Amino acid sequence: MIEADPPVTDGGAKQEQAVTIPVDDRPIRIEKPETVAVVKVEDYTPAAVKQGLQRLLELLDPTFMKQSLEGKTVFLKVNGLTVKPLACTNNIVVEELGKLLRDNGCKKVLVGDSNFNKALTSITLKGMGIAAVAERLGNPVVNFFEHGWTPVSHVSFLADSFVSIPEPVAKADIVINLPKMKTHAGYVFTGAIKNFFGLNAHKNRMHAIHKNKVDFQQMLGDIHQAALASAPGSETKPVLHVMDGIVGMEGKKGPAGGTARAFKVLIGSFSPVAVDTVAYTLMGGDPADLEAIQSLGKRNGWPSTIDQLRVVGDDWKPLVQRASLPPLSTLRSGEQGEASAGGFMMWATQVVIRVNRRRCKGCLTCVKHCPAQALSKKGNKIVLDSSKCISCFACGESCPNDALVPRIRLTELLERILFVSLIVAAIVIVIVLLATLPYT
Ligand code: SF4
Ligand code: SF4
């Protein structure tokens, strides 16, 4: 038996009760962790999305729709990051999946998420139309901050003795994770594994505790273990992952301010590791570079390279694109970077956050949500204390004006050198011209 931490307030979350909970040592077993389905879908027309989802589920498990859903409560965990359509799971994907589940006997379809706090989550879920989709599927949208949190304890956790996940998710019979295929300025890529960060009650605290990026990515695995271990009885909860990559996001300003990229795919698996491995490969990256994928795969013995996976459905090779990805050096920024800073190049290639003063409206959202208190207002300006920054990019995720920009130090340095050189050159030219002008 272990003692849970005392209750902590974070972003308006309902407080947990301090409880004594037994450590759960049931095995974590998921269906076919080596199987991943890739289905090409051209666009978000409802008929195309419905057909794609039906095909994806058939490919993954032909019995899923026929046998597993009768009388069950299914929770659809969307990506509801901010009021920007590109940053969130597309509503048509959520609605068509919900309708399919209901048509196949599902008793209740719940839809929900949480981002920074209760108010912002509510604004996002309403503003994005996710709340309306949930209503049409028969239930009010679930803002996790308006519900209790269930502590789950399992021997497979690495970082904490327990993880709290939202009560409605813990109580659901089946969970379907609906991540968006996107880049992330702080972690390079965000997909099925990172999308479960929204299931965690203490986002700021988790960022602050796990400043080291390796630790943070491993901690994300704990949230997945908690969701799987939250089934009552001796079973592992069925958790399915369906990624919306029909139009995803690329560029250094993901996951909120990147640019659209049509990957034209839905990717599904019972393994989040398989989904992210395929997605990152299709974006032109190497999944071996991402600790979140590798550590969760290793922990459970789930395949985490494209060669180890059984990819069913459409041929994935022609779907590979060379998306614009944030530099891998971003994974060395923050405490991890400081710890590994072995020389100038290591320092110079780290990613740092800069405020675009023309875009900034001074709303202070970023200041409130920085887990490291690295941002503050000085006069009319938002300023960064880079010695405190852990490069998590929570500020960029929360900024409504895309005013926070990740920059590579070396690029900045070179730009400044170039700028100063141009000014010096201009001054020299003017002096030479003045000196050579004939006196009149
Ligand atoms: S300034 Fe931004 S990137 Fe740095 S710690 Fe704060 S929220 Fe994270
Ligand atoms: S959230 Fe964005 S607009 Fe608001 S103060 Fe921060 S940088 Fe400026």
CB of 408 closer than 6 angstroms to any ligand 1 atom: no
- The number of the ligand 2 atom at minimal distance from the alpha carbon of 361 is 3
Residue 148 has pLDDT above 80, yes or no: yes
Distance CA 191, CA 43 (A): 20
Same domain, 380 and 356: yes
User: Other CB atoms closer than 10 Å to residue 355's CB: what's the count?
Assistant: 18
**Predicted confidence band of residue 406 (pLDDT cuts 50, 70, 90):** confident
Domain count across the chain: 2
Asked whether residue 113 carries a pLDDT value surpassing 70, the answer given is: yes
pLDDT over 60 at 399, yes or no: yes
Same domain, 171 and 41: yes
- pLDDT in the model for residue 370: 93
Kindly report, residue by residue over 149-208, the tens digit of the pLDDT.
999 999 999 977 789 999 999 999 999 999 999 999 989 999 999 999 999 988 888 888
Residue 367 Cα: closest atom of ligand 2: 6
- pLDDT of 27-73, one tens digit each? 899 999 999 999 999 999 999 999 999 999 999 998 877 677 889 99
Residues 296 and 236 in one domain: yes
Instruction: Give the residues surrounding ligand 2 with Cβ less than 6 Å away.
Output: 355, 360-366, 382, 399, 401, 403-404
Confirm or reject: Cβ of 398 under 6 Å from ligand 1. no
The residue whose CA has the least distance to atom 4 of ligand 1 is 389
Same domain, 28 and 147: yes
Kindly state if the Cβ of 247 falls inside 6 Å of ligand 1: no
Nearest ligand to residue 358 Cα: 2
90 pLDDT higher than 70: yes
- 435 inside domain: no
Q: How confident is the model at residue 333 (pLDDT cuts 50, 70, 90)?
A: low
Over residues 311-322, mean pLDDT: 98
Report the nearest atom of ligand 2 relative to the CA of 355: 7
The verdict on 265 and 359 lying in the same domain is no
pLDDT at 210: 87
Collect all residues with Cβ–Cβ distance below 8 Å to 167 and sequence separation of at least 6.
147, 148, 149, 150
Ligand 2 atom with minimal separation from the 359 CA = 3
Query: What is the CATH number for 150?
Result: 3.40.50.11440
How high is the pLDDT of residue 204?
85
* Statement to judge: residues 310 and 382 lie in one domain: no
What pLDDT shows up at residue 259? Answer: 96
pLDDT-derived band at 341 (thresholds 50, 70, 90) equals very low
Q: Would the pLDDT of 349 be above 80?
A: no
**128, part of any domain:** yes
Rg (CA), the chain: 23
Is residue 434 situated within a structural domain?
Answer: no
Confidence of residue 85 (pLDDT cuts 50, 70, 90): very high
394 lines ligand 1 (CB under 6 A): yes
C-alpha count within 13 angstroms, C-beta hemisphere, residue 103: 8
DSSP line for 242-265: EEEESSEEESTTTTTS-EEE---E
Q: What is the mean pLDDT of residues 367-392?
A: 90
- The mean pLDDT value for 329-351 works out to 61
Q: Are residues 342 and 254 in the same domain?
A: no
Residue nearest to atom 8 of ligand 1 (CA): 392
At 335, which CATH number? 3.30.70.20
Contacts of 328 by beta carbon, 8 Å cutoff, 6+ apart: 188, 289
CA–centroid distance, residue 395 to ligand 1 (Å):
5
Residue 149 lies in a domain: yes
Among 2-11, 137-146, 318-327, the least confident range = 2-11
How does residue 228 score in pLDDT terms, banded at 50, 70 and 90? very high
Q: How many other C-beta atoms are found inside a 10 Å radius of the C-beta of residue 372?
A: 20
Containing structural domain, residue 393: 328-415
Last residue of a domain, which of 301, 319, 337?
319
Atom of ligand 2 nearest to the CA of 365: 1
Distance 431 CA to ligand 2 centre (A): 42
Q: 0.85 cut: is pTM over it?
A: yes
Q: Is residue 426 part of a domain?
A: no
Residue ending a domain, choose from 250, 284, 319: 319
Q: What is the mean pLDDT of the chain?
A: 89
Instruction: Give the side-chain half-sphere CA count within 13 A for 371.
Output: 22
Same domain assignment for residues 306 and 334: no
Q: Is residue 422 part of a domain?
A: no
Regarding predicted confidence, which is higher, 213 or 5?
213
Do 121 and 221 sit in the same domain of this protein?
Answer: yes
Task: Judge if 215 and 361 occupy the same domain.
Answer: no
Q: How far is the CA of 371 from the centre of ligand 2 (A)?
A: 15
User: Last residue of some domain: 319, 345, 362?
Assistant: 319
Residues 105 and 241 in one domain: yes
Mean pLDDT of 251-274: 96
Index of the ligand 1 atom closest to the CA of residue 384? 1
Query: Separation of 125 CA from ligand 2 center, angstroms?
Result: 21
Which residue lies with its CA nearest to atom 2 of ligand 2? Answer: 399
Long-range pairs, 284-288, Cβ under 8 A, ≥24: 284/320, 284/321, 284/322, 284/323, 284/325, 285/188, 285/189, 285/323, 285/325
431 is a domain residue: no
The predicted model gives 284-292 an average pLDDT of: 97
Q: Is residue 140 part of a domain?
A: yes
**Is there a single domain that holds both residue 309 and residue 350?**
no
Q: Output the pLDDT for position 161.
A: 77
